[in-house]
């Protein structure tokens, strides 16, 4: 039987029956010195182990304590009613967009706006040389006065002849001829009046004015160029900025459900959706690619009259206020449409959700504070940083919010209640 004899200067003497062996406490070779015979012979593995074990115990070195489980912060899932939203893509469009074109021929003389300015309806934008059209107007006015003079003379001649025929001083043929001349003179007055009106219109067209109120584009033709010679030259465009339309496609199931909800509210005609009474029911939200969330709210005002058989969708249009002009016509936008209500939903903090090849998961602290990896199915994300869990949790578990990097499935942890200072922050770091 082995027995420790002495322990000094990191050498141990072990008594094995009638033999005493001396060896370092931490042998580093296959041979040890035997004090009983002074020779070096191989020791067995058992002897080395006994020497090392009993030698360490004899020197009073304690065994290391077990590691303390890491601290993590835990929370219980929230429960509340959640509105289910569905996201789509769409594009904005101006309610009114007008192409400003030259309607008469002439050289472009003046531009009365700064590109990008907001202009009013009827505001002067361009001036095409008016002199030729002023001359045409003056000529038409002169022609009208001449025609009116001829009419007055013909009227006087007819009146004299009608008095003279009473005494047979003139023939009936003379009276008939005078009446025809008066009719021709009156027709000439009408023709000259029409020519004068046309000349005034042409002169008016030399002042190119904005047909709508909105934001004007740059000038597409420089001053001094001839415009309107072969076609109505496009000079610029003006688009209305507030409000804007948003076009997007909805699945037919959503549209049918929406129509059913409207019928419950008493809407019998789809055109009634423009009624302000139903705007809250038809609300939707819009965000651009550079905006956080969906900061713009609007309401639907148009449904297409048919379902696209190829895609199973219906084109819809909504109106979005744009007084701050943060949206532009033609912009690609994200659209969020409210759907059904999900009562008593389970929600967890977004920062607690991990991802691996198996999918999304949370770390649950179970019996004896042992960590369990629980795979979950997620629903919509709320604005406060919590995410709906549709399956995988019962709602009464304790899940790890902070300290995910210190937790390992199957190992214990030291749970601490999570301080809900900014649990809703979506960008919180894990660990």
User: What integer best gives the mean pLDDT of the chain?
Assistant: 83
227 and 110 fall within a common domain? yes
The pLDDT value recorded for residue 273 is 65
The beta strand positions in 120-213, using DSSP E, are 124-128, 207-209
183 and 194 fall within a common domain? yes
182 and 121 fall within a common domain? no
The pLDDT value recorded for residue 275 is 67
Residue 283 domain boundaries: 86-93+242-340
The pLDDT value recorded for residue 10 is 45
101 and 230 fall within a common domain? yes
> Which value, to the nearest 10 degrees, does the dihedral of the CA atoms of residues 292, 293, 298, 300 take?
130
168 and 195 fall within a common domain? yes
Residue with tokens 């795979």: 375
Residue 306 included in any domain: yes
Asked if 5 and 13 count as a contact pair (C-beta separation under 8 A), the reply is yes
The pLDDT value recorded for residue 262 is 73
**pLDDT, tens only, 362-419:** 999 998 899 999 999 998 888 788 999 999 999 899 999 998 899 999 999 999 998 8
332 and 246 fall within a common domain? yes
DSSP annotation string for 329-389: TT-EEEEEEEEEEEEEEEEEEGGG-EEETTEEEEEEE-GGGBEEEEE-EEEEEPTTSEEEE
Mean pLDDT of the region 202-230: 94
The pLDDT value recorded for residue 423 is 44
307 and 249 fall within a common domain? yes
397 and 353 fall within a common domain? yes
Residue 211 included in any domain: yes
Q: Is residue 1 predicted with pLDDT exceeding 60? A: no
The pLDDT value recorded for residue 420 is 66
Paired residues of 261 in beta bridges: none
The pLDDT value recorded for residue 162 is 86
78 and 198 fall within a common domain? no
Mean pLDDT of the region 167-191: 91
**pLDDT, tens only, 288-308:** 999 988 999 998 888 888 999
**pLDDT, tens only, 97-117:** 999 999 999 999 999 999 999
The pLDDT value recorded for residue 48 is 47
**pLDDT, tens only, 65-97:** 778 899 999 999 999 988 888 889 999 999 999
47 and 181 fall within a common domain? no
- Which of 340, 358, 376 terminates a domain? The answer is 340
Provide the domain count of the chain: 5
Residue 360 included in any domain: yes
78 and 120 fall within a common domain? no
Q: Is residue 2 predicted with pLDDT exceeding 50? A: no
The pLDDT value recorded for residue 39 is 45
Mean pLDDT of the region 128-143: 95
Which CATH number goes with the domain that contains 394?
2.40.420.20
Residue 424 included in any domain: no
pLDDT band at residue 426 using 50, 70 and 90 as cut-offs? very low
Which CATH number goes with the domain that contains 322?
2.40.30.170
Q: Is residue 148 predicted with pLDDT exceeding 90? A: yes
Q: Would the pTM of this model clear 0.75, i.e. be above it?
A: no
Of all residues in the chain, what percent carry a pLDDT higher than 70? 79
Of all residues in the chain, what percent carry a pLDDT higher than 90? 56
Residue 193 included in any domain: yes
The pLDDT value recorded for residue 31 is 41
120 and 213 fall within a common domain? yes
The pLDDT value recorded for residue 3 is 46
DSSP annotation string for 245-259: EEEEEEEHHHHHHHH
Residue 63 included in any domain: no
């Amino acid at each position: 039987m082995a027995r420790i004899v002495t322990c000094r200067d990191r050498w141990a003497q072990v008594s094995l029956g009638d033999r005493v062996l001396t060896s370092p406490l931490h042998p580093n070779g296959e041979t040890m010195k035997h004090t009983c015979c002074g020779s070096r012979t191989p020791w067995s593995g058992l002897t080395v182990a006994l020497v090392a074990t009993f030698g360490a115990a004899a020197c009073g070195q304690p065994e290391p304590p077990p590691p303390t489980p890491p601290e993590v912060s835990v929370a219980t899932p929230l429960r509340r009613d959640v509105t289910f939203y569905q996201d789509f893509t769409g594009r904005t469009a101006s309610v009114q967009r007008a192409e400003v074109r030259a309607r008469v021929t002439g050289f472009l003389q003046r531009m009365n706006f700064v590109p990008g300015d907001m202009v009013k309806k009827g505001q002067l934008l361009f001036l095409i040389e008016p002199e030729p059209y002023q001359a045409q107007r003056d000529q038409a006015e002169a022609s009208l006065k001449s025609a009116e003079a001829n009419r007055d003379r013909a009227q006087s001649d007819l009146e004299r002849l009608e008095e003279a025929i009473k005494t047979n001083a003139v023939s009936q043929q003379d009276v008939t001829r005078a009446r025809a001349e008066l009719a021709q003179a009156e027709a000439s007055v009408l023709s000259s009046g029409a020519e004068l009106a046309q000349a005034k219109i042409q002169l008016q067209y030399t002042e190119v004015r904005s047909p709508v109120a909105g934001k004007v584009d740059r000038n597409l033709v420089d001053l001094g160029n001839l415009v309107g010679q072969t076609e109505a030259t496009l000079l610029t465009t003006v688009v209305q900025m507030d409000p804007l339309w948003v076009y997007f496609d909805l699945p037919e199931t959503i549209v049918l459900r929406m129509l059913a909800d409207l019928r419950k509210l008493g809407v019998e005609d789809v055109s009634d959706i423009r009624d302000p009474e139903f705007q809250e029911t038809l609300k939707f939200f819009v965000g651009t690619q550079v905006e956080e969330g969906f900061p713009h709210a609007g309401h639907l005002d148009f449904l297409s009259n048919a379902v696209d058989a190829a895609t199973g969708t219906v084109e819809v249009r909504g109106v979005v206020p744009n007084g701050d002009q943060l949206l532009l016509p033609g912009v690609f936008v994200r659209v969020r449409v409210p759907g059904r209500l999900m009562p008593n939903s389970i929600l967890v903090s977004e920062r607690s959700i991990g991802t691996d090849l198996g999918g999304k998961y949370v770390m649950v602290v179970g019996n004896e504070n042992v960590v369990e990896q629980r795979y979950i199915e997620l629903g919509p994300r709320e604005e406060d940083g919590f995410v709906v869990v549709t399956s995988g949790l019962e709602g009464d578990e304790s899940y790890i919010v902070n300290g995910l990097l210190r937790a390992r499935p199957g190992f214990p942890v030291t749970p601490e209640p999570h301080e809900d200072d900014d649990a809703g922050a979506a960008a919180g770091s894990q660990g």
